[in-house]
A and B are shown apart, each in its own frame.
Chain A
Amino acid sequence: MVRTYALLAWTWTRAAMAYPASFAIMTVLGLAVAGMDVAVILIVFANTTTLAGFSRDETLFLYGTANLAFCLCDMFVSNIDRISQHIKAGTLDTMLIRPVSPWLQLAADRFLPTRIGRIAQAAVVLGYALSALDLDPGRLWMVPVMIACGIVIFTALWTLAGALQFVLVDAPEVTSAFTYGTGQLTQYPFSIYGRELVRGVTYVLPLAFVNWQPALYVLDRDDPFGTPEFMRFLGPVAALVLALLAALAWRQGLRHYRSTGS
């Protein structure tokens, strides 16, 4: 499966490399688009030293961890977003006549290697935050774990978004509120958000486990909302639950499609 994906992605990369100037421009511009989110953080902290109790570098740590996972999924999975276009154009039918899972084909469809710029940008910010913050080395093991969980959670979100589009063929943009919205949500310390919103994204849709809960452990901070200590370690559970939910929804969506024949 990984091999098939890699080969598909490589074909698109080769096609993109045929125009090297364009490739370079798009990589740089992708970096600039992603960099705007960092710009906002920097401008905010040019006007204040702390935001809802968190410093600039702590915020950049939150941004870096969530964004690294988000950008990786943006590169490798987010093409699923275009499923409603494929349904309307009938190209989903052509994916269904091939001996490979349509999920894989959709994720690799028109793979954009230029998004590597964004991943680099997130990695640089994370690297900076890790070196600027005086973190307890004994807690750093959590960083790769939270990034891995973040990748699973964002992949699940994009899969859910794709599954929803089987029903919302005419309103695919609704689903960006969940995918790109989560990307936006996880850029800042959750202490800036309202209590109800944070409850919702902790207990209903467990987005707080992308970075907020584990980051509290890494940064050695108490939760301003007073959740118990063990919640910091529930990231893998949340990721697993969301992944199962997404897989189920995807199967259901595909079944719905094959029985309505859009």
Chain B
Amino acid sequence: MLTLRRCTTIPLYARLVRYGFRKHATYVVAALAGAFTNSVFGILRAYILIALWQARPGLAGYDVTQAVTYCFITQAFIGPMQLFGVGLSIPERIRSGDIALDLVRPASLQLWSLAEDLGRAAYLFLVRGLPPMLLGAAVFGIYLPAAPGQWAAFLTGFLAAVLVSFAWRYLVALSVCWLLDERGVQSFSLVLTTLCSGMLLPLELFPGWFGEAVRVLPWAAMVQAPTDLYLGEAPVLDTLAFQAFWAVVLLAAGALATRAIRHKVVIQGG
């Protein structure tokens, strides 16, 4: 019975990943525009880090090239992980009431959304992620991992980071159902994500207890962790375990929230 079900669900979600990819492929111009803007900001941010590392060589255990690489790789993450937004259509569908249609489907809303989001992330990784990296390499020169193992570690860490990012955004999206002020929640998430993920500066630079706190919170698993895997500056297994921990916790919370919203919408008709 279990194997039978798996036979039909795996192709379904694989197909959803493909649809997510293809859906975003129709917005190629918008994605390239995003890549352009992310690249410009990458250059401006890189100069700040270069000046800082010239004053303090070896800060946070990085050399100047690694610091510049840090900057461009985090810019490359903005699109795939939707660090500045929600990137899910759920809030819109909750407002219009269409969410009820999604919830009565015989497939989990969370897995369904995740599959589409993975497709979107894969597309944006290629179109919005690679250009800033290439530009950074051309203008300043960036660090490239030599060992295949390091690449494998980075790609695994990147996938885990996308999972954590999705799991967080899914929770934010569903919160619209309970908290009426959608823009408030989204801005709140924006502040937390930008500040605590390592998007602004490497978390190693954050001073005192604040620094210690942000380095263990889930947002660190989105940007800081995969970047350190790329730079070869973090123990691979520990880092992946840290990301996996937050992915599991947040996805579980998302599953609970899905049950709650199903109860609210389908049963209470709300």
Contact = CB atoms under 8 A, between A and B. Distances in A.
Contacts of A188: 47-48, 51
B87 interface: no
Contacts of A25: 181, 184
What secondary structure prevails in chain A residues at the interface with B?
helix
Interface string B163-190: 0000000000000000011011001101
Interface string A118-162: 000000000000000000000000000000000000000000000
A174 B27 CA distance: 14
Interface string B17-43: 000000000010110111011001101
A177 B37 contact: yes
B194 interface: yes
Interface in B38-68: 40-41, 43-45, 47-48, 50-52, 54-56, 59
Contacts of B184: 22, 25-26, 29
B29 A40 contact: no
Nearest to B207: A46
B160 interface: no
Interface string B230-254: 0000000000000000000000000
What secondary structure prevails in chain B residues at the interface with A?
helix
A40 B200 contact: yes
B10 interface: no
B138 interface: no
Interface size class of B (residues with CB under 8 A): 35 or more
B51 A52 contact: yes
B36 A44 contact: no
Contacts of A50: 55
Contact of B201 (A30, A43, A170, A181): A43
B207 A36 contact: no
A222 interface: no
B134 interface: no
A192 B44 CA distance: 9
Interface residues of A, number: 39
B103 interface: no
Contact of B200 (A36, A47, A49): A36
A36 B191 CA distance: 8
Given A47-B56, A177-B41, A26 B47 contact: no
Contact of B29 (A33, A171, A184): A171
A95 B258 CA distance: 42
A47 B52 contact: yes
A39 B243 CA distance: 26
Contacts of A39: 195, 200
Contacts of B54: 52
Nearest to A32: B191
Contacts of B59: 47
B205 interface: yes
Nearest to B211: A43
Interface in A181-208: 181, 184-185, 188, 191-194, 197
7 contacts: A19-B181, A25-B181, A39-B200, A172-B33, A174-B36, A192-B47, A192-B50
Interface of B: 27, 29-30, 32-34, 36-37, 40-41, 43-45, 47-48, 50-52, 54-56, 59, 180-181, 183-184, 187-188, 190-191, 194-195, 200-201, 205-207
Given A29-B187, A51-B55, A52-B54, 7 more contacts: A36-B191, A40-B48, A43-B200, A43-B207, A46-B207, A180-B37, A193-B47
